[in-house]
A and B are shown apart, each in its own frame.
Chain A
Amino acid sequence: MIYNIPFFTVIALIAIGMYAVIFKRNLVKIAIGISIIESGVNLFLITLGYREGGIAPIFTNLPPEITPSDIPEKMVMPVPQALTLTSIVIGVAVLALILAFIMRIYKEYGTLDAREVRRLRE
């Protein structure tokens, strides 16, 4: 049961992030919501790779009780960690661009309320 707590955390993070994007009016809060959803999905990716009692997947400098013959079974999976790194970098780029757009919108419109920033409608 204790090994399922990360999955519940993932669901909670995604739910909180979607609440922030759908119900909050301030544009910066929407950007924070997107960042929270991204943290949730990254946590999901890392949790998938965990194996019980596993060590870090590095072949050199192993701890002394691991013999080289049973290496792959005792390690956590490395592929989701690579996927998560890619996703974190993409998230940084998206967040930087969204914040740049929010700064431009504030300079032009004078407000950050999503219900006021709607010159493009109907």
Chain B
Amino acid sequence: MNWFITHSPALLILLPLLAAFLMPIIDKINKKARNIFAILIFIIVEILVIILAFDIIKNGMHVYAIGEKNPLQTIPGQAAVPIRIVLQIDAMGIFMGIISATVCLAASLYSLAYIEEGKGKGKFYTLLLLILVGMLGMEFTGDIFNLFVFYEILSIASAALIAYSRKGEASEGAFKFLVISSISALFILFSIALFYGQYDLLNIAALAKNMKYTHLDKIALALLVSAFAMKCGSVPMHFWCPDAYSVAPSSITATLVAGSQASLYALFRVCFTLYGVKLDLQLIGGALIIFGLLSMFVGVTMAIPQKDIKRLMAYHAISQTGYMLLGVGAGLYLLGKPEFDSYGIRAMEGGIFHIINHAMYKGLLFLTAGAIFYRLKTRNLNEMGGLAHRMKYTSIFFIIGALAIAGVPPFNGFASKLIIYESVYKISPILSIIAMLVSILTLASFVKVFHSAFMGPKIHDVEEVPKSMLIGMGVLTFVIIFFGLFPGFIVNNLVHPAATALAEQAKYLQAIGG
């Protein structure tokens, strides 16, 4: 057991990677074996992530130097700086790891029935495993070039899966996604080169120790903040988001949401840990708060006139990302000041708690939209009606998801939104008022979707969706209800360690000796 826990950072990335390479071979042998193999790998990764989470919250940070004889020795004998790739998992990293593992497990269960057999299902599962590798790699690594490599793995695998459908528009959405991803990745590589040229180091903790805030570091900061903010879908760089999310198969859209949260994690890692208090906190914190406000407002107002159900939900994903940027941006704004300990850390907790809530309920909503598409073969809201008569379970899951996103008790959206409202109120009341207004408009647009799709007389003759899709939706619903009923337990044990791990740069630097 001890061997498992020590080597689990490397196992968690290695296991899905090996499974992804074995998947085409198993696909040629037997179809049923491939299905069982894929689901088994996702379940094993989920269980390992939860065991590692228990250990990290009890015992502190885990480091792992890849290739050393003793993996806990990050600085080898004669050197003065860490020279190998070091995986460094603190409470925030494992928090994001739980999100990625759960969403990918739900998506893979859902895809058992959603994707038909003769259309390259083996390659679908290979790419889904590579998406999981990319997300876990981004969240667990302590080396900035490794972050870039896993970022590219995630974006290439996601782009290939967005274009899965044979219809024409899917290639257009995937093309736009890949152009945006590769432009942002090239600018991230440019910043990494700027760091290497000045300091001769690639490890995040070692860079943070030696960081002098020169002009080249300012250029690198502007590029990194912009590139990661574009990839998570914050206004005014959000235009690719509805295009890509609406044409992808629904389980992949749920995974893309978790991928955007991984880029959000990378943005926070750069701002809080790589730079820390040396950057202009007022400016960057203010920029994140402004991105958050714009995202919330533009996202929800553009969602109301939409006719395509998945495009509407993608605009809501942009809007909810605004809540996270608002919460953590408020924390960054207050970082060095004494007010941070009273309400700054609460704002960060609200933002971070909202990340996991959003991944769960947004994933659930996209999976229900996929269930509607699976039966009716259309995404246009004008052609739907009266589905609640026959698709009872799908309507119940949709109601739970819609109430959770609108912030209605007792689901989990309310808990995190309440923390954000209370803590950003003290910075300026306008922020809280705009957040509540956006919440009301969110509820309004989901009432529109519910009425158009599920209410009314029975127009279409449909059946309920297959059981594996319902089980996939059920996994996410269980997390929503559990987090909604026990928010105090979750905040004290999971979110508060994550927020303090992000805010305290010193503990992160201490883990890499010297």
Whether chain A touches chain B in the assembled complex (some CB pair under 8 Å) = yes
- Chain B, residues 170-213, CB within 8 Å of chain A (1/0): the string is 01111110110011011001101100110000100000000000
**Contact, CB under 8 Å: B179 / A120:** no
The residue in chain A whose Cβ has the minimal distance to the Cβ of B169 is: A119
Which A residues touch B197, using CB under 8 A? Answer: 48
Which residues, 362 to 396 on B, are CB-close (under 8 Å) to A? none
Which of B156, B160, B186 contacts A41, CB < 8 Å?
B186
B97-105, B239-247, B249-257, B468-476 - interface stretch: B239-247
Cβ of A83 under 8 Å from chain B = yes
Determine how close the nearest CB of chain B comes to the CB of A103; give it in whole angstroms: 9
**Contact, CB under 8 Å: B182 / A105:** no
Beyond A34-B183, A90-B152, A97-B159, whether A108 also contacts B196 by CB under 8 A is no
**Contact, CB under 8 Å: A34 / B145:** no
Determine how close the nearest CB of chain A comes to the CB of B151; give it in whole angstroms: 10
Which of B178, B185, B189, B246 contacts A120, CB < 8 Å?
B246
**Contact, CB under 8 Å: A97 / B196:** no
Cβ of B480 under 8 Å from chain A = no
**Contact, CB under 8 Å: B189 / A105:** no
Which A residues touch B159, using CB under 8 A? Answer: 97, 101
Beyond A97-B156, A101-B174, A105-B171, whether A41 also contacts B189 by CB under 8 A is yes
Which residues, 70 to 109 on A, are CB-close (under 8 Å) to B? 79-80, 83, 86-87, 90, 93-94, 97-98, 101-102, 104-105, 107-109
Interface of B is mostly: helix
Which A residues touch B311, using CB under 8 A? Answer: 120
Q: How far is the CA of A79 from the CA of B167 in the complex (A)?
A: 44
Q: How far is the CA of A32 from the CA of B416 in the complex (A)?
A: 45
- Chain A, residues 36-52, CB within 8 Å of chain B (1/0): the string is 01100100110010000
Q: How far is the CA of A8 from the CA of B190 in the complex (A)?
A: 15
Cβ of A117 under 8 Å from chain B = yes
B: interface residue count bin: 20 to 34
Q: How far is the CA of A105 from the CA of B167 in the complex (A)?
A: 10
**Contact, CB under 8 Å: A105 / B168:** yes
**Contact, CB under 8 Å: B163 / A34:** no
**Contact, CB under 8 Å: A44 / B173:** no
Q: How far is the CA of A98 from the CA of B172 in the complex (A)?
A: 11
Determine how close the nearest CB of chain B comes to the CB of A106; give it in whole angstroms: 9
**Contact, CB under 8 Å: A48 / B193:** yes
Q: How far is the CA of A104 from the CA of B243 in the complex (A)?
A: 17
**Contact, CB under 8 Å: A98 / B179:** yes
Q: How far is the CA of A45 from the CA of B182 in the complex (A)?
A: 17
Q: Which of A44, A87, A101, A117 has the most CB of B within 10 A?
A: A101
Q: How far is the CA of A79 from the CA of B159 in the complex (A)?
A: 30
**Contact, CB under 8 Å: B243 / A120:** yes
Determine how close the nearest CB of chain A comes to the CB of B171; give it in whole angstroms: 4
**Contact, CB under 8 Å: B247 / A105:** no
Which of B145, B168, B189 contacts A104, CB < 8 Å?
B168
Q: How far is the CA of A59 from the CA of B17 in the complex (A)?
A: 33
**Contact, CB under 8 Å: A21 / B183:** yes
Beyond A94-B152, A94-B182, A105-B168, whether A27 also contacts B175 by CB under 8 A is yes
**Contact, CB under 8 Å: B163 / A104:** yes
Which A residues touch B183, using CB under 8 A? Answer: 21, 34, 37
**Contact, CB under 8 Å: A94 / B178:** yes
Which of B163, B178, B196 contacts A48, CB < 8 Å?
B196
**Contact, CB under 8 Å: A38 / B156:** no
Which A residues touch B247, using CB under 8 A? Answer: 120
Which A residues touch B152, using CB under 8 A? Answer: 90, 93-94
Which of B169, B171, B190, B242 contacts A44, CB < 8 Å?
B190
Cβ of B481 under 8 Å from chain A = no
The residue in chain B whose Cβ has the minimal distance to the Cβ of A110 is: B168
Known: A98-B179, A101-B171. 5 other contacts (CB 8 A): A93-B152, A101-B159, A107-B168, A108-B169, A120-B173
Interface pairs (26), CB distance under 8 Å? A14-B190, A37-B186, A41-B186, A48-B196, A80-B193, A80-B196, A83-B145, A87-B189, A90-B152, A90-B185, A93-B156, A94-B152, A97-B156, A98-B178, A101-B171, A102-B175, A105-B175, A108-B167, A109-B168, A117-B172, A119-B168, A119-B172, A120-B176, A120-B242, A120-B243, A120-B247
Q: Which residues of A contact B (CB under 8 A)?
A: 14, 21, 27, 30, 34, 37-38, 41, 44-45, 48, 79-80, 83, 86-87, 90, 93-94, 97-98, 101-102, 104-105, 107-109, 117-120
